[in-house]
Amino acid sequence: MDNQSASKTYTIGQLAALAGITVRTLHHYDHIGLLSPGSRDENGYRRYNFSDLLLLQQILFFKELDFPLKEIKNILKNPKTDPLVLLQQHQKNLEMRIDRLKILEKTLQKTIQTYMKKETMPLTDAELYEGFSEEKISRYNREVREIYNPQLVDKVDKKVRNMSKTQWKKIQQEGAHIAQNLATLMNHDPTDPEVQSWIARQHTWIENFYPAPADVFQGLGELYATDPEFRAFYDHYKPGLADFMREAMQLYAETVQNKNSPNLD
């Protein structure tokens, strides 16, 4: 340290900027007798010298270690306090804190990885059929293979189970959103463009699971109205929704078929 640095003084604003604290904080430290300026200029303004800087550094070290100001004052005002010993203790405490933070960081990384792994793990039966009893889950798995092509069922099952939990939740929310909006349109004619727009969205939603050409999509609409459990699922949004969707899906399927039919003119 050269003589020029040792003799240099700082205004309260300069010291606050240098230490990264507020002028108000320095006023408070002065008020409680923790850090008073080494001198004042002819106008009565505070001037802080190099010793004040070192003392402020000590205060800030203790603050970083969560010492209350009263205890910091008692330590620093004690004539038996050795500044070098204090600095060495600060260094030791900081090294211990760094070690703890490194351990905490590793623990946090493991926790994040666990959650990420959990999000990408294949869906279980309980997650796929959330809200259903084990008996119903078993029956659905059996019946669906009796009604549909088992190879297609297995393909759909594999596709769905390989979705992340986030993807599955998003698809569930989309299905519910479509049904809720169609329920609000039941006073419209099924040919209404807004109704058909939501039915087109239902078609896109179905194809998250398997290809649904017009005839398959129309058959699915029939299933919504005739299968007791499908009907109960949709009618819980609003009574009669299953029948409304069947008619709207049939009209949609016919429109799609007509668009895809070859022009023989």
Q: What is the CATH number of the domain that holds 188?
A: 1.10.490.50
Q: What is the pLDDT of residues 69-87, one digit of tens each?
A: 998 888 888 888 786 787 7
Considering the domain architecture, whether residues 98 and 182 belong to the same structural domain is answered as no
What is the model's pTM? Answer: 0.48
Return the pLDDT at 65.
Answer: 79
Query: Which range marks the domain in which residue 112 is found?
Result: 82-120
220 within domain boundaries? yes
Q: What is the pLDDT of residues 170-198, one digit of tens each?
A: 888 999 999 999 999 999 999 999 999 99
Distance from C-alpha of 225 to C-alpha of 193, rounded to nearest angstrom: 22
Considering the domain architecture, whether residues 205 and 175 belong to the same structural domain is answered as yes
DSSP tag of 185? T
Considering the domain architecture, whether residues 180 and 252 belong to the same structural domain is answered as yes
- Give me the torsion for CA of 163, 164, 169, 174, rounded to 10°: -50
140 within domain boundaries? no
Considering the domain architecture, whether residues 73 and 110 belong to the same structural domain is answered as no
**Residues forming a β-bridge with 10:** 48
133 within domain boundaries? no
Distance from C-alpha of 193 to C-alpha of 199, rounded to nearest angstrom: 10
105 within domain boundaries? yes
125 within domain boundaries? no
Return the pLDDT at 248.
Answer: 96
3-state secondary structure at position 192: coil
The residue among 97, 96, 21 whose CA lies nearest residue 59 is: 21
Considering the domain architecture, whether residues 254 and 178 belong to the same structural domain is answered as yes
Considering the domain architecture, whether residues 106 and 181 belong to the same structural domain is answered as no
Considering the domain architecture, whether residues 182 and 101 belong to the same structural domain is answered as no
Considering the domain architecture, whether residues 65 and 86 belong to the same structural domain is answered as no
196 within domain boundaries? yes
Q: What is the CATH number of the domain that holds 68?
A: 1.10.1660.10
142 within domain boundaries? no
Considering the domain architecture, whether residues 19 and 97 belong to the same structural domain is answered as no
Rg (C-alpha) for the chain, rounded Å, is 37
Q: What is the pLDDT along the chain (265 residues), one digit of tens a residue?
A: 455 555 788 999 999 999 999 999 999 999 999 999 988 888 888 999 998 998 999 899 888 878 889 988 888 888 887 867 877 887 888 888 888 888 888 777 776 665 555 555 555 555 555 544 555 545 555 655 555 567 766 776 777 777 777 787 888 899 999 999 999 999 999 999 999 999 999 999 988 877 788 888 898 899 889 888 889 989 999 999 999 999 999 999 998 766 654 443 3
Place of tokens 């398997």: 210
25 within domain boundaries? yes
The residue among 55, 60, 20 whose CA lies nearest residue 37 is: 55
User: Of 68, 94, 120, which closes a domain?
Assistant: 120
Which DSSP string do the residues of 7-59 spell out, in sequence order?
H--B-HHHHHHHHT--HHHHHHHHHTTSS--SEE-TT--EEB-HHHHHHHHHH
The residue among 85, 53, 59, 84 whose CA lies nearest residue 73 is: 59
Counted domains in the chain: 3
Considering the domain architecture, whether residues 231 and 210 belong to the same structural domain is answered as yes
Considering the domain architecture, whether residues 86 and 75 belong to the same structural domain is answered as no
Tokens of 119: 């999000």
Secondary structure string (H, E, C) spanning 221-255 = HHHHHHCHHHHHHHHCCCCCHHHHHHHHHHHHHHH
Considering the domain architecture, whether residues 36 and 61 belong to the same structural domain is answered as yes
Return the pLDDT at 229.
Answer: 83
Judge contact between 190 and 247, C-beta under 8 A.
yes
Instruction: Return all residues near 247 (Cβ < 8 A) that are at least 6 apart.
Output: 190, 221
Distance from C-alpha of 202 to C-alpha of 78, rounded to nearest angstrom: 77
